[in-house]
């Protein structure tokens, strides 16, 4: 981007870039997960390759997220960083509590990571909404 690029254009570019990396990573996760079942019959070689590709896409997504955050104004960055802190804390406390419920056989089902991912996403989105409402 050159020095004449407007802030809105930088935000638009970083948002689009983050979306592309997120979609690519999500497709990589789907390929690694379902490819082993439907495409290569649990061949560990293909699974390892798919997982490595997914990990590299995840690193790209993390870098795109950092660039996205840096393109935001100070208030939006603060709201997002606060929300990330809340989501991290919720994931840590909720995840460990959920795991303990499983390991102590208080719940009959095995603890699944998908529930933790949902908890992180919901706590992050709610925190963003509350943060935006607080600073209006």
Residue 105: pLDDT over 80? yes
| CA atoms of 45 and 37, how far apart (whole Å) | 13
* Residue 58 burial (C-beta neighbours within 10 Å; 0-12, 13-18, 19+): middle
Q: Given pLDDT bands bounded at 50, 70 and 90, which one contains residue 86?
A: very high
Residue 2: predicted pLDDT: 53
Q: What's the average model confidence in pLDDT over 112-122?
A: 91
Q: Given pLDDT bands bounded at 50, 70 and 90, which one contains residue 3?
A: low
Residue 8: predicted pLDDT: 83
| CA atoms of 117 and 114, how far apart (whole Å) | 5
DSSP letter (8 states) at residue 4: T
Name the residue ranges covered by the structural domains of the chain.
1-71, 73-136
| CA atoms of 49 and 39, how far apart (whole Å) | 13
Q: What's the average model confidence in pLDDT over 28-49?
A: 91
Residue 1: pLDDT over 70? no
Summary mean pLDDT of the chain:
92
Between residues 48 and 4, the one the model is more confident about: 48
Residue 10: predicted pLDDT: 87
């Amino acid at each position: 981007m050159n020095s004449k690029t407007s802030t809105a254009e930088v935000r638009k570019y970083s948002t689009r870039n983050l979306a592309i990396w997120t979609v690519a990573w999500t497709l990589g996760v789907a390929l690694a997960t379902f490819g082993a079942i439907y495409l290569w019959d649990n061949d560990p070689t293909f699974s390892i390759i798919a997982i490595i590709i997914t990990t590299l896409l995840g690193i790209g997504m993390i870098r795109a997220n950092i660039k996205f955050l840096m393109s935001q104004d100070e208030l939006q960055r603060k709201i997002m960083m606060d929300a990330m802190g809340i989501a991290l804390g919720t994931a840590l406390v909720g995840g460990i509590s959920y795991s303990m419920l499983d390991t102590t056989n208080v719940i009959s089902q095995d603890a699944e990571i998908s529930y933790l991912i949902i908890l992180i996403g919901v706590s992050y989105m709610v925190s963003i909404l509350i943060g935006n409402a607080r600073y209006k």
